[in-house]
Amino acid sequence: MMRKKLMIGAAAVAVVLGGIVAQVAAESPREDAMKALGKNMKVIKELISANGNAADAAAPAQKIAEIAAKIPDLFPQGSDTPDDAAKAEIWQNWDDFVAKAKSLQDEATMLASAAGGGDLATVGAQFEKVGGTCGACHKQYREKTN
């Protein structure tokens, strides 16, 4: 009987610890989206650096545009935390933040369109504009992290 209780107790502890580990390991939808955005930017940057096929930038550019459209929903009022890179200015300047997200979406959509044109120089120039929109938002609304 005692052995059965110990086994049940050990199983319960394992379930609780497993849940805690999974919760700590899981990233927020915001973090997931920002990492996906960065990953797609990196794919395009490497494609340009390698003098690759301009058309190959279309899919990651479209993914950036899709993520950008969701950015305002990823930052609901009160979602800032002390360990978050988001500055409080996001919610104080909400209309500007939303406009910057829309600008990223528009520039990324134009990048996807440029990729369809097949000219890598045009893709490179539009990629710089996309990067500029990312930087403008980060400069104003993202804490520098190590």
- pLDDT of 27 reads 74
pLDDT in tens, 74-118: 999 888 777 788 899 999 999 999 999 999 999 999 999 999 999
- pLDDT of 2 reads 52
CA distance 52 to 24: 39
pLDDT in tens, 25-49: 457 899 999 999 999 999 999 999 9
Average pLDDT of span 53-67: 97
CA distance 1 to 116: 70
The answer to whether residues 75 and 35 touch, using CB atoms and an 8 Å cutoff, is no
- pLDDT of 130 reads 97
If one looks up domain 28-141 in CATH, what number appears? Answer: 1.20.120.10
Domain boundaries, the chain: 28-141
